[in-house]
Amino acid sequence: MTPNPQLTDTGELRHLLTIEGLSAKLIHSILDTAESFVSVGEREVKKVPLLRGKSIFNLFFEASTRTRTTFEIAAKRLSADIVNLNVSASSQSKGETLLDTVDNLSAMGADMFVVRHAQSGAAHFIARHVAPHIHVVNAGDGRHAHPTQGLLDMFTIRRYKQDFTQLRVAVVGDVMHSRVARSEIHALTTLGVPEVRVIAPRTLLPKGVEALGVHVFHDMQAGLKDVDVVMMLRLQNERMSGPFLPSAQEYFKYYGLTADKLKLAKPDAIVMHPGPMNRGVEIDSSVADGKQAVILPQVTYGIAIRMAVMSMLAGA
């Protein structure tokens, strides 16, 4: 077996590229550390001196507001110096290769790269290339993984539901194109959730998804029955036409989360969404703004999770 490139010889986190292959113990230790950072975020001074003097580069080759901003806030609360690079608008458009960009930023003294890229495997590629003292966080690569989103979702579930081993969780929507779904499913099964369901039309499910240890439902009513957690996925605009779906209205009718459908879940079920939401496509406003929604707490916890990940990597 090839060693996990994310871990040091002593099993510490060196890069965070995917949740796949991380132990339940390591995931829980990230969540525990994040718990301490939540209390930092509630103070008058929301900053700790941990990463003073470290340089972090937000390397976003793909548009993002929430993820980039929460990484930026997290780095600033850790006292690191963070530089945002919107790479699509800079060197790459002049023809510089990805690794040349990384080498140049390394020459400027980078300690960590936070990478978002449309190509699956981009963060792995950079992690294999950089010097040993440089750390890489995958902030979303193609259809592959979005590990900090998966972790903040687990943090949110743990805060509201405590024990993973008693839960029934449904992941609803475009699983096929979703790196978030993949990270969520790996995290849920690793943490011992006994029943993970995916609910989606056949056209939006990858082949062989059952191999990930999930139960597949095409009927949303049946899939939501008695679940504790509903994790909605964003239906990307570019999928709304073409061969995948007839129309957004049609999709909402069958797979949109409405108050009526939510009644089939447990009465205390929570509703999650990674954002940005398409109201009236995958989720109805009455649910998105309802009292079972924990969508905004997810954003707040995202900062704590990213602080935990960055400080654990920088110390490894």
Give the residues lining the site for other proteins (CB under 8 A).
Answer: 12, 29, 32-33, 35-40, 43-45, 47-50, 311-312, 314-316
CB nearer to other proteins: give 26 or 248. Answer: 26
What distance in Å separates the CA atoms of residue 222 and residue 310, rounded to the nearest whole number?
40
Q: How far is CA 150 from CA 59, 64, 71, in A?
A: 20, 16, 15
Residues 6+ apart with CB under 8 A from 178: 143, 233, 234
Minimum CB separation from other proteins for residue 221, in Å?
40
Minimum CB separation from other proteins for residue 157, in Å?
18
* β 229-232/135-141 pair status: unpaired
CB nearer to other proteins: give 74 or 193. Answer: 74
Residues 6+ apart with CB under 8 A from 177: 143, 204, 236, 239
What distance in Å separates the CA atoms of residue 31 and residue 46, rounded to the nearest whole number?
19
**Is the dihedral angle over the CA atoms 184, 26, 34, 62 positive or is it negative?**
negative
Tokens of 209: 């998804």
Q: How far is CA 194 from CA 61, 131, 137, 189, 301, in A?
A: 37, 40, 29, 7, 24
Minimum CB separation from other proteins for residue 42, in Å?
9
CB nearer to other proteins: give 299 or 316. Answer: 316
CB nearer to other proteins: give 39 or 162. Answer: 39
Sheet with 81-86: list strands edge to edge.
Answer: 81-86, 55-60, 112-117, 135-141
Minimum CB separation from other proteins for residue 274, in Å?
25
CB nearer to other proteins: give 155 or 255. Answer: 155
CB nearer to other proteins: give 280 or 315. Answer: 315
Residues 6+ apart with CB under 8 A from 134: 106, 110, 111, 112, 113
CB nearer to other proteins: give 45 or 89. Answer: 45
Minimum CB separation from other proteins for residue 316, in Å?
6
Minimum CB separation from other proteins for residue 20, in Å?
23
Minimum CB separation from other proteins for residue 164, in Å?
20
